[in-house]
């Protein structure tokens, strides 16, 4: 998505962003979640009476609550999205804290072997449910990231199925393409050309890298994709590029 469009969407009222997300706009959904993470952290921190960051389980609970709030929000009822979300986040986090306290108290009270086994089972189930929740959130984030990436590729006339089919098959070829992409990112002039023309500056690249013009042309879509990933907010995809 062009920078101007991102800035425009970022400036939208949260109620409008939520409505667009409810209509199936995945990019707006992801943007809304990213924009209001500080709000989520602040709200959760007030409930917990300590600083909360993205690594805390309570933040994950708050993030899911905010997501539910924006998908269920009804602006015809008068309340703002943030005030509605704050209520939901507080309830969910308080419920989480209470449940955690119950589990802890129960584990302290159970003394017999049978009760200890029950306590162990309860803790395992709780751990599994939290793990499952994290897996669901991670999968949602991966899917949103892939959607954003496909939109970025669209700008350069590249389709994801083309990229998969035409990507270098050998590790050495992928490594060379990665090196070309990293060098291109470090050259402001090359990046400006790519962003303005939506194509690689092949003549200039050929002089700078130890790769033939034919190879550059054959791998141009893959190189552009790698540049977009390394130069953008694509944490999950970046892991695959550097493998």
Residue 161: how many other CB atoms lie within 10 Å: 8
The whole domain housing 114 covers 3-140
- Note whether 38 and 93 are same-domain residues: yes
- Note whether 230 and 169 are same-domain residues: yes
- Note whether 125 and 82 are same-domain residues: yes
Q: Token digits for 179?
A: 């090196």
- Note whether 42 and 104 are same-domain residues: yes
Residues 70-88 have pLDDT tens digits of: 999 988 887 899 999 999 9
- Note whether 235 and 198 are same-domain residues: yes
Quick one: which of 64, 124, 56 has its CA closest to 88?
64
For range 65-70, the mean pLDDT: 92
Does residue 36 belong to any structural domain of this protein?
A: yes
Residue 86: how many other CB atoms lie within 10 Å: 22
Does residue 99 belong to any structural domain of this protein?
A: yes
Residues 154-203 have pLDDT tens digits of: 989 998 888 888 888 888 888 888 889 999 999 999 999 999 999 999 98
Measured CA to CA, the distance from residue 136 to residue 73 in angstroms comes to 22
Task: Give residue 19's pLDDT.
Answer: 93
Does residue 151 belong to any structural domain of this protein?
A: no
Residue 225: how many other CB atoms lie within 10 Å: 25
* pLDDT of 125 above 60: no
Does residue 11 belong to any structural domain of this protein?
A: yes
**DSSP 8-class letter at 75:** G
Of residues 110 and 66, the one with the higher pLDDT is 66
Measured CA to CA, the distance from residue 192 to residue 188 in angstroms comes to 6
Indicate the average pLDDT of the chain.
Answer: 82
Does residue 177 belong to any structural domain of this protein?
A: yes
242, 178 Cβ separation under 8 angstroms? yes
Q: Token digits for 187?
A: 């050259």
C-alpha dist (Å) from residue 114 to 97, 102, 118, 127: 26, 18, 6, 20
145, 236 Cβ separation under 8 angstroms? yes
Does residue 45 belong to any structural domain of this protein?
A: yes
Measured CA to CA, the distance from residue 58 to residue 56 in angstroms comes to 5
- Note whether 184 and 84 are same-domain residues: no
pLDDT level of residue 6 (50, 70, 90 thresholds): low
Of residues 120 and 92, the one with the higher pLDDT is 92
- Note whether 111 and 165 are same-domain residues: no
- Note whether 124 and 171 are same-domain residues: no
Residues 29-40 have pLDDT tens digits of: 889 999 999 999
- Note whether 97 and 216 are same-domain residues: no
Task: Give residue 97's pLDDT.
Answer: 84
Does residue 42 belong to any structural domain of this protein?
A: yes
Residues 193-238 have pLDDT tens digits of: 999 999 999 988 888 888 888 888 999 999 999 999 998 888 888 8
Does residue 147 belong to any structural domain of this protein?
A: no
């Amino acid at each position: 998505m062009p920078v101007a469009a991102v800035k425009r969407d970022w400036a939208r009222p949260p109620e409008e962003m939520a409505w667009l997300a409810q209509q199936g706009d995945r990019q707006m959904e992801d943007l809304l979640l990213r924009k209001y993470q500080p709000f989520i952290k602040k709200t959760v921190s007030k409930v917990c009476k300590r600083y909360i960051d993205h690594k805390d389980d309570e933040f994950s609970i708050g993030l899911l609550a905010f997501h539910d709030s924006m998908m269920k929000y009804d602006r015809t009822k008068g309340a703002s999205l943030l005030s509605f979300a704050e209520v939901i986040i507080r309830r969910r986090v308080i419920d989480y804290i209470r449940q955690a306290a119950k589990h802890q108290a129960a584990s302290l009270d159970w003394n017999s072997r049978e009760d200890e086994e029950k306590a162990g089972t309860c803790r395992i189930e709780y751990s599994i449910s939290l793990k499952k929740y994290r897996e669901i959130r991670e999968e949602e984030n991966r899917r949103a990231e892939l959607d954003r990436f496909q939109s970025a590729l669209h700008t350069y006339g590249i389709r994801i199925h083309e990229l998969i089919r035409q990507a270098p098959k050998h590790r050495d070829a992928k490594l060379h393409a990665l090196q070309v992409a990293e060098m291109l990112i470090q050259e402001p002039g090359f990046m400006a050309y790519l962003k303005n023309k939506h194509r690689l500056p092949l003549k200039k690249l050929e002089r700078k890298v130890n790769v033939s013009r034919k190879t550059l042309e054959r791998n141009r879509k893959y190189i552009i994709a790698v540049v977009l990933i390394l130069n953008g907010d694509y944490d999950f995809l970046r892991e695959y590029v550097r493998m």
